[in-house]
Structure 1
Amino acid sequence: MGIRVLVKLLDVVGGMITMIPSILAVGGFLAFRLHPARQMELQWLGLFLPLILGVNILLIFYWVARKKWWFVIPLFAVLLNIPYLSAVFQWPFKQTEPAGRELKVASYNIRQGGIGEISVVSRELSAFMVDEKVDILCLQEFPSAGEAQSKWIEELSGFLPYYVADSSSLPAMQVALFSRYPILRSQRITFPDKSSNRAMWAELDIDGQVVKVYNVHLQTTNLNQNRIRPSDDIDRATSRIIRLKDMMDVNGVIRARQADMIREMIDGSTSPVILCGDFNDTPASYAYRRIKGDMEDSFRSCGKGYGYTYRYLKKLFRIDYIFYSGEVFRGTRYYSPELEYSDHKPVIVTLDVDLTPLSSRGRN
């Protein structure tokens, strides 16, 4: 009799403990909706949501195996975060209809010109994009000037003759856009908060219709600059952790403001939109939700398996995206190969293009 009471007591204690990761998962869900300036703590829960949900899934299996009703609590937490889960995992065997009129778009953070000798990296990456038959290429952390920039332009413009590269001499991380289609006009987007990150938009003439392409690089996390090293003692490691948290809090708020700015510009566009970029934020973030708005996320549309684009940190995080206007474009193929030129993976998306609705709606 005493053993049965003890087992029941342990189940109750286990159930109470089960509530902790479930509550954290609810906080991660709310991070998607609340501006970081109002509730920064929730943004941290959003960042660690893959691990939090993993714990909840294990608890579901544990309580189901025990035939205890406590499984309902972590199940609710997981179901609540289905929007996030669908943004990082898609059924690996799903099929999509092939594109009739193809437009292939690529986005890649090349980490300030790429890892390795510039002439080799630019040549090899250009050959890769040629093989992929890319029509529009958006690059982040593009060399700002000098021989490195010239080498990249020389290699890429051979098959994508129209390009816009921010040639400012400012110490900023530039963005560049290369296109097979004529660029009608373009504009640099300079973020407030003294951010060194940049964005731009360009209007392309695609078969007589104007399509607005955004290339966005949101505020960096400064994670690499403040990561703990094996040689650090306890005091130094603690100092790095505190400094990293403070910097990530500040940068999270900056990214949210940048996302608000980009969203306002998209809302003012009269042309269909394609948006490429490195957000430095996950699909659980305010920045992701704000910029995406009613656009389609290409990974959700046609991605397969687990989607990650940052090659470090155990390959847990998807922070690079291609969004598009769903009324004009349809994603048919999402491809993110494991290239070694950067700490990011490129994102390559094939879109099925239907420009006929534009004229009927009187769009430019």
Structure 2
Amino acid sequence: MGVRVLLKLIDGVWGLISMIPSILAVGGFFASRLHPARYMELQWLGLSLPLVLAINILLIGYWLARKKGWFIFPLFALLLNIPYLSAVLQLPFKKIEPAGRELKVATYNIQQGGDGELSVISHELSTFMIEEKVDVLCLQEFPSTGEVQSKWIEELSNSLPYYTLNSSSPGVMQTALFSRYPILHSQSIIFPDGSCNRAMWADLDIDGQVVKVFNTHLQTTNLNQHRIRPSDNIDRAASRIIQIKDMMNENGVIRAQQADIIRKLIDESASPVIVCGDFNDTPASYAYRTIKGKLKDSFRSCGKGYGYTYRYLRKLFRIDYIFYSGDKLRGTRYYSPELEYSDHKPVIVTLDVDFMPFSSRERNRK
């Protein structure tokens, strides 16, 4: 009897300990729903969701194999985070009806080492976009001035003749939008937080229909600049950890405030909307959820497999997005190739641009 009681006690203690990942996963669920300015630490749970959910999956298997009821807690945590899972993982064999009239939209953060390296890749990247038959291209951290910028404009405008640029100040990397279709109006979005990151919108005339395209570059994480190095001693490493924590908390709040601004502009648009950009945040973040709102996430609509766009940090994170108005547009193909030009991958999405609302179209077919 004593052994049985001891084993039950061990199971109980282990069961309580195994609830910790479930609790962390619940916190990760709320990370996208609560503003970081008020709940700053939750963003860390959002960032750690891939690992936390993986642990919960292992615990479900463990407790089911043991035929113990403790599996209910990690299962609940997993089911609660299905919206997050669908934003990073899609079945590879789903079938999607091809587009009737195609519009190819691409977004890419091309920064890698400065203007010198950008000069080298301009021809290669423009050739790639031509081969992909891209109609609208949103670039973050576009060359700011001089011959490098002129070369990029010359290369890209061969196939995308309409373009608009914006920056926070002279000499600072810009956001840029290139289009096969005429740009009717465009405007910079200047964030009031002193950030060097910027956004813009442009109204495009796509065969008589106005579509508002946002090109968004939210506050960076600055993680690479403050990462712990093998040469750091214990004191230096501890100092860097504190710096990273404070910096990530501050930047998370800034991104959330920037997302609020973008959301307001989206809500004010009377035209169908496409949102492109580098959010520097995952689908478990407040920034992602706020900007997406009722828009469609192209990866969730037509992506396949595991979706990531940041090539470092074990390829765990999707931080580059294309959203669109689901009542007038429909995603039919999501493509994110492993190019070597940047630490980001480009995102290329094919949209069906029959601007009749899809519900009406289905009724007409019937």
TM-score of the aligned structures, taking structure 2 as reference length:
0.95
State the shift of 1:144 in Å.
1.2
Gaps of 5+ in 2: 361-366
State the shift of 1:84 in Å.
0.4
Distance (Å, rounded) in 2 between the aligned partners of 1:167 and 1:78:
42
Matches within 5 A, 1:65-144: 65-111=65-111, 117-144=117-144
Structure-2 residue corresponding to 1:7: 7
Distance (Å, rounded) in 2 between the aligned partners of 1:283 and 1:305:
16
Q: Secondary structure at the residue paired with 2:337?
A: coil
| Conserved 8 A contact 1:115-1:342 | no
Q: Secondary structure at the residue paired with 1:356?
A: coil
Deviation digits for residues 310-351 of structure 1 (CA, Å, limit 9, x no counterpart):
000000000000000001110000000110100000000000
State the shift of 1:90 in Å.
0.5
Say if 1:114 and 1:100 are closer, same or farther in 2 by CA, change over 3 A. farther
Q: Secondary structure at the residue paired with 2:322?
A: strand
State the shift of 1:114 in Å.
7.0
Structure-2 residue corresponding to 1:214: 214
Q: Secondary structure at the residue paired with 2:205?
A: strand
Structure-2 residue corresponding to 1:229: 229
Structure-2 residue corresponding to 1:205: 205
Structure-1 residue corresponding to 2:252: 252
| Conserved 8 A contact 2:29-2:80 | yes
RMSD: 1.5
Structure-2 residue corresponding to 1:17: 17
1:38 aligns with 2:38: yes
Matches within 5 A, 1:1-364: 1-111=1-111, 117-166=117-166, 169-357=169-357
Q: Secondary structure at the residue paired with 1:40?
A: coil
Distance (Å, rounded) in 1 between the aligned partners of 2:67 and 2:167:
64
Q: Which amino acid aligns with 1:17?
A: I
State the shift of 1:10 in Å.
1.3
Of 197-206 and 119-128, the range deviating more from structure 2: 119-128
Distance (Å, rounded) in 2 between the aligned partners of 1:313 and 1:175:
25
Q: Which amino acid aligns with 2:156?
A: L
Distance (Å, rounded) in 2 between the aligned partners of 1:309 and 1:322:
12
Deviation digits for residues 263-308 of structure 1 (CA, Å, limit 9, x no counterpart):
0001001110000000000000000010001000000000001000
| Conserved 8 A contact 1:171-1:196 | no
Q: Which runs of 4+ in 1 moved over 4 A?
A: 112-116
State the shift of 1:14 in Å.
1.0
Percent of aligned pairs with the same amino acid: 78
Q: Secondary structure at the residue paired with 1:86?
A: helix
Gaps of 5+ in 1: none
Of 142-151 and 159-168, the range deviating more from structure 2: 159-168
State the shift of 1:115 in Å.
9.0
Deviation digits for residues 163-210 of structure 1 (CA, Å, limit 9, x no counterpart):
012266535331000000000110011111100001000000000110
| Conserved 8 A contact 2:168-2:197 | no
Q: Secondary structure at the residue paired with 1:274?
A: strand
State the shift of 1:120 in Å.
3.0
| Conserved 8 A contact 2:186-2:201 | yes
State the shift of 1:4 in Å.
2.0
Distance (Å, rounded) in 1 between the aligned partners of 2:168 and 2:223:
26
Say if 1:113 and 1:264 are closer, same or farther in 2 by CA, change over 3 A. farther
Q: Which amino acid aligns with 1:25?
A: A
Say if 1:38 and 1:143 are closer, same or farther in 2 by CA, change over 3 A. same
Q: Secondary structure at the residue paired with 1:117?
A: helix
Q: Which amino acid aligns with 1:78?
A: L
Distance (Å, rounded) in 2 between the aligned partners of 1:327 and 1:336:
24
Deviation digits for residues 201-260 of structure 1 (CA, Å, limit 9, x no counterpart):
000000011000000000000101100111111111111110011011000000000000
State the shift of 1:101 in Å.
0.4
Q: How many residues align?
A: 359
Distance (Å, rounded) in 2 between the aligned partners of 1:94 and 1:11:
41
